[in-house]
Every structure is written in structure tokens, then in C-alpha cells.
Amino acid sequence: MNSAPARGDGVGLEINDSLIRGVRLGGDVDGRVAAAAERSIRLHDDDDAVDALVRLRAELGPSTAPTRLATFPKHAMIQRIDITGRAGPDLNTLRSRLHRLNQIDSTIVVEDGPRRWLLLIRWNAVAMRRLEDLAERAGFVDVTVEPSPLATARIAGAGTRHLTRLVAPGDAHHSIVSNRLPVCALSTDATGIAAPDLFVSDVDVTLALFDDFMNEASLAETMGRVHERAAAQRSVDEHLGPATLELDLVGDLYPPFPDHDQRSPRRQAVALGAAVGAAGLAGPMRPVDMMITGVSVDDRFDRPWAIETIPASAPQISATPATRPSRRRRRLRRG
């Protein structure tokens, strides 16, 4: 085992309620991919989840490289807003307002040339911290979590505009991409399509439609029209011959392993993107900022020192001198 990971070493994981996929990259490995694996998981059970993660880590091989965990639960959402030129205090105020008014508890700053964008992520931040904790309990190192559309966009071709990811039966999401960064993402219906898979499209998209913040219904309607055009384009392409999924590992074309192979690009696309981010091959990436409300001190906790000063020793209570009526009552009680 390497005592210190080098640039190019990284572990990427894709996880949902029923399965987990993983890829380990090695900077000194021909083709970069050192190992790939897939296991079933029961994510709602902590013990079972840790056991599945331990077994997956054993299949990937020992590594001290950082780990990036990608996931996109049902009902999750991504949008972006332009923050070019905004300073830190202004961003903190913006985050607080989005959290208060729109229940957006996670954000990440990304840079696209001269412009800076704030990706707005609506998911359960507490559940995301739980995933990080489970992975670290299983032995993975330096675990961070990110949305799957961000990981997938990282290894898609430069001309990619629309991605549809089928994680497992009944679990799919699609995203609109620009310059290898997600513009927006939502869950989608993939009934009748075999999973796992990844559909990549270069369909034309008017990105200006997504410059302003939209409620989820409006976002779903606008993205749905792009999804329909991408599906129509895919249908035409399929008549011309079987499609080949090409993934770009930062200049290295990922090998076209067959679909039944655990290293298949259709299986490991998200894990590969996460691993590229963990390995530091995709440029500087800021972590996801999560606004998790802490538990305040109240009557359920016997911790008065948290809110007031407590003297080192208990104060001495002086005895009150007995009065004549009280002495008379004591004598009557003794009698």
C-alpha cells in the first residue's frame, strides 16, 4: 500500500438505495483504471451498508487515495445562478436566503472561464453526511460527497449538452451540461429502458432559458422539452447502428468494455467521474457546502454551562435563625 497517494490516485463511488459501484484510479496504471467493482446494498440499514462498503473496498484493493462519493436521490434538484464578481459575505447572505425560502441546503462554487456559478443543490444534507460517515467507517479515506450529474459531466465529451443516467430500475435522472459542468438536473422517468446505462446527446440547448432561478415545476417542463428532443435524436442514431459510449478520462479515452463487464462504461460512468475528481485530474474543485442546522441546547440537555457561568463550588446556604413561633411548633411536634 502506498503511504502517500500521488496526483492521479483516487477512488470514485456511485451509490443509491440498492447498489454501489466503485472505481479506483492509479496514476502509475496503464489506462488509469486499476480496479472496478459493484455490489448490492441496503442503504437504510447502517450495518448492512457498512458491510457492503467494506466488501467493495476489498474488491477495489487497498488504497490511501481520497474518495469521492456521487449520488443523486429521487426528488433531488440542481440549478445554477451567476455569481461572477460577488464577494464572500454576499454569497453567505445569498445561501441563507435560498435555504430559508427554497429549502436549498447545499451549494458549490464552480468556475467556467471568466464566469463563476453557484450550483444550487436540493437534497437531504443530513443524509449526505451520513453517507460520508458510512464510507469512512468502511475504511475509505478523505470521503467527500457530490451530486452524480457533476461527476458524470466531468468525463463527458466537450460537446455534450444532455445526459440521461439510468442508475437502476426505477432510478434515473437527466441533466443539461455546458463545458463539462451541469446547468441543471432532475430525476426523470425511465420506464421500459434497461439499466444501468448512460445516454449522451449533443442536442442544441438554449442555455439562456436556465439563467434565472425556476420552481421545480417550471424547471421540469423546460428540461422535459430538451429531454424529448434528445430522445428523438437518439432514436434516429440507433437506426444508423449501435451507439458506442465514449468517456474522456482527462485526455484518455476509456476502453469500450462490454456491457456485462463490471468495468463497462455504461455501468461505471458516474464512479469514473467521481474518481477523476478525487484524483485531482479535473482541476480545482471546491467541496459541497452544506447548511446543516445544529441541535440547540434546551431543556432536554443537562448542560447549563453551555449558556451560563456555573461557579466551581455550590454556594453555601446560611441557616435562617429560628423565631419564637417556629421553636414553639417544634416543641409541640416533639411532644
Q: Where in the chain are the domains? A: 10-284
Under-50 pLDDT residues of the chain: 1-2, 294-303, 305-307
Contact 292, 105 (CB under 8 A): yes
- pLDDT (0 to 100) of residue 242: 62
- pLDDT (0 to 100) of residue 240: 65
- pLDDT (0 to 100) of residue 303: 47
- pLDDT (0 to 100) of residue 323: 65
- pLDDT (0 to 100) of residue 300: 41
